Structure 1
Amino acid sequence: MSAPLRIGTRGSALALAQAGTIADALGGELVVIQSEGDVNTQSLASLGGAGVFAAALREALLAGDVDAVVHSYKDLPTAPIAGLSVAAVPRRADARDALCARDGLTLDELPAGARVGTGSPRRRAQVAARRPDVELVDIRGNVDTRLGRVGAEDPERRLDAVVLAAAGLSRVGRSEAVTELFDLDAWPTAPAQGALAIETRTGDETLAARIDHRPTRRAAAAERGVLARLEAGCAAPVGARAFVEDGMLFLTARVYRLDGSAQLTSSHATVLDAGVEDELAERVAAELLAQGAADLAPLGASPASQED
């Protein structure tokens, strides 16, 4: 009898829930790996973006400590790592962002001066664009920690609302906390939000290939392709949405000024064929850059960023 597949995961409740579904599907066992992002309480932007969560998992995989690792695909840097491959992208969950507010309020119903928590520059820009009169609070922590600050007794910790991923809330059984779901057309989310990526050593892709969902993989590839071509990190103020429908691949991406005062959008579609994800992402990113995206947001393509 062969040994069970060793599947690496972070130790948060959300990561364990996500990886648990993959372990069930593949007949594997979970191996918990701690990352810098799990122990460092600095803001996500100051740590260098969501890639801090992926690094430790990838190191364990390259070292042979595990056979596969499970990532929230939106946390995975777009630059490939030699020796590793994305073996599967399972069917995507809800890609929307969700507001979790006190007293069942929506974003438009929050009073002026309300304190809204999020650790994402994109979400900060989106909230500020719609509600410039609220106070934005940078927060970190797992889902329960963030939700626990909504209506908290301690005035220093108290928030009126937080913005989280609908998929994450669902995966840890906290969907009842949602008071508003934001429409993806008006409020595009992080590239590949709601999707998982199962990474293996190159050559071992068959370990997870049977749970790959091709339409999700292609949509996620198009969204992440825009991020890569903008030379933007995982925490950049960039939202994207791609989907497959009627033999077509549709892609929209939006770049925000950090304070929410301006935004640029590009949308294109193409007949679904081999390799069109890259071509479509190139068209969308090029149009955004031509419109001035590098001057609007802190992208790697901007001269200011290259000087750092």
Structure 2
Amino acid sequence: MTLRIGTRGSALALAQAGDIAREITERTGVATELVPVTTHGDVSRESLSSLGGTGVFASALREFLLAGKCDLVVHSMKDLPTQKYDGLRIGAVPPRADARDTLCARDGLTLDTLPEGARVGTGSPRRAAQLAARRPDLAIIDIRGNVDTRLGFVASGELDAVVLAAAGLGRLGRTEKVTEYFDLESWPTAPAQGALAIEVRDEAHDDDLLGALEAIHDSSAQAAAVAERSILFRLEAGCAAPIGAHATVSESAITLLGAVYAPDGSGQLVLTGSGKLDASHAATVGADDFSGPAQSSIIETAEYVGSALADELLAGGAARLAPLTQD
């Protein structure tokens, strides 16, 4: 059979879906075909924050999949709502790409060396808040458009710099435009940034499809993404909320950093938490970790860590610091 892979039609979406298609064929020998789908987020010129962020790129793909017009769809996981979608499930999470944000600036400039009043573009409220916190003297410009359009704002001189995800630049072969990579500990990015989600129908049972999902799945990448996204789920926040998260998964623990920012950069709340794992990725929760079951799977532990950290953020005043609840 040929597996039909639904994807948005943007250059970045086609690139990442193409990577998945090639990986499936190389690992399993199963043929694949890309099926582009136009989403509301692709055709709207409104700002991402005004569109609401959450789900704006996913709905058309999901309806296409439910209608049986493709066998699986490839999402950027950071664009997915955290609630389960009826009739669908995430069947695989491939190895995660670079989760960092980058600065792409004229003349090789960095965030610290940009001149006072420099114009920096982003469509992300979280990135805008981080920029304002680090450099309140900058003019932060709300922008839309694909990666090349945004880079074009800098090339034309309309902007001095833009902030873009390293993962997208890497998938498109544009990393030579990067003038600075931001460290994840001091600049946590959107929950699940750099991770892809392969979504399938709940009743999917074809051997070729199941074999393809198993061949490309990475449990550590899934656990990190689940921990980060559990913060959003617990806070009932959308992907456009000014929230950053960064999880690491080792043989012994899941460690999670979560941050909530005031939209104008005037304040931030940053906390960390962890859950222990044994060598087989079963979890044990100690006195210094979040409470949970004595034994659980790596994914259950990731959910506990993210949920408990969200509770700590709420107790610390996150809801007073920034608008969190999605419309």
Q: CA deviation at 1:26?
A: 2.0
Q: CA deviation at 1:50?
A: 4.3
Rounded Cα–Cα distance in structure 2 between residues aligned with 1:255 and 1:99: 21
Q: Is the counterpart of residue 33 in structure 1 residue 58 in structure 2? A: no
Rounded Cα–Cα distance in structure 2 between residues aligned with 1:69 and 1:280: 28
Q: Any residues of structure 2 matched to 1:135-174 within 5 Å, and which?
A: 135-153=139-157, 158-174=158-174
Rounded Cα–Cα distance in structure 1 between residues aligned with 2:33 and 2:161: 36
Q: CA deviation at 1:17?
A: 0.4
| 1:219 counterpart SS class | helix
Rounded Cα–Cα distance in structure 1 between residues aligned with 2:100 and 2:202: 32
Q: Provide the TM-score with structure 1 as the length reference.
A: 0.94
Question: Structure 2: which amino acid aligns with 1:51?
Answer: G
Partner of 1:245: 250
Partner of 2:184: 184
| 2:57 counterpart SS class | helix
Tell me if structure 2 keeps the 8 A contact 1:44–1:50. Answer: no
Tell me if structure 2 keeps the 8 A contact 1:77–1:233. Answer: yes
Rounded Cα–Cα distance in structure 2 between residues aligned with 1:203 and 1:267: 38
Rounded Cα–Cα distance in structure 1 between residues aligned with 2:52 and 2:257: 25
Rounded Cα–Cα distance in structure 1 between residues aligned with 2:57 and 2:184: 25
Identity between Structure 1 and Structure 2 (%): 62
Task: Give the alignment partner of residue 97 of structure 2, picking from 93, 110, 117.
Answer: 93
**For residues 274-301 of structure 1, what are the alpha-carbon distances to aligned partners after superposition, in whole Å with 9 as ceiling and x for unaligned?**
111121112100000001101111112x
**For residues 42-88 of structure 1, what are the alpha-carbon distances to aligned partners after superposition, in whole Å with 9 as ceiling and x for unaligned?**
00011111420011100100111110000011011101101101000
Rounded Cα–Cα distance in structure 2 between residues aligned with 1:164 and 1:204: 35
Question: Structure 1: which amino acid aligns with 2:52?
Answer: G
Q: CA deviation at 1:210?
A: 1.9
What is the Cα-based RMSD across aligned positions, in Å?
Answer: 1.1
Q: Any residues of structure 2 matched to 1:293-308 within 5 Å, and which?
A: 293-300=318-325
**For residues 121-151 of structure 1, what are the alpha-carbon distances to aligned partners after superposition, in whole Å with 9 as ceiling and x for unaligned?**
0000000000000000000100000000004
Rounded Cα–Cα distance in structure 2 between residues aligned with 1:296 and 1:63: 42
| 1:183 counterpart SS class | coil
Rounded Cα–Cα distance in structure 1 between residues aligned with 2:271 and 2:112: 26
Tell me if structure 2 keeps the 8 A contact 1:254–1:266. Answer: yes
Partner of 1:14: 12
Task: Give the alignment partner of residue 226 of structure 2, picking from 209, 221, 233.
Answer: 221
Tell me if structure 2 keeps the 8 A contact 1:90–1:212. Answer: yes
Rounded Cα–Cα distance in structure 1 between residues aligned with 2:214 and 2:236: 29
Partner of 1:195: 195
Q: Provide the TM-score with structure 2 as the length reference.
A: 0.89
Rounded Cα–Cα distance in structure 2 between residues aligned with 1:281 and 1:130: 26
Partner of 2:29: none
Rounded Cα–Cα distance in structure 1 between residues aligned with 2:187 and 2:250: 20
| 1:53 counterpart SS class | coil
Rounded Cα–Cα distance in structure 2 between residues aligned with 1:204 and 1:252: 35
Q: CA deviation at 1:236?
A: 0.6
Rounded Cα–Cα distance in structure 2 between residues aligned with 1:151 and 1:25: 34
Q: Is the counterpart of residue 277 in structure 1 residue 295 in structure 2? A: no
Rounded Cα–Cα distance in structure 1 between residues aligned with 2:269 and 2:113: 26
Question: Structure 2: which amino acid aligns with 1:258?
Answer: P
Q: CA deviation at 1:203?
A: 2.9
The number of residues matched between the two structures is 296
Partner of 1:103: 107
Task: List, as ranges, runs of 4+ consecutive aligned residues in structure 1 with deviation greater than 6 Å.
Answer: none
Tell me if structure 2 keeps the 8 A contact 1:5–1:26. Answer: no
Q: CA deviation at 1:204?
A: 2.0
Question: Structure 1: which amino acid aligns with 2:243?
Answer: V
Tell me if structure 2 keeps the 8 A contact 1:90–1:196. Answer: yes
| 2:60 counterpart SS class | helix
Q: Which runs of 5+ in 2 are unaligned?
A: 26-31, 278-282, 284-296
Partner of 2:83: 79
Q: CA deviation at 1:109?
A: 0.4
Q: CA deviation at 1:245?
A: 1.8
Question: Structure 2: which amino acid aligns with 1:250?
Answer: T
Rounded Cα–Cα distance in structure 1 between residues aligned with 2:182 and 2:155: 21
Tell me if structure 2 keeps the 8 A contact 1:112–1:134. Answer: yes
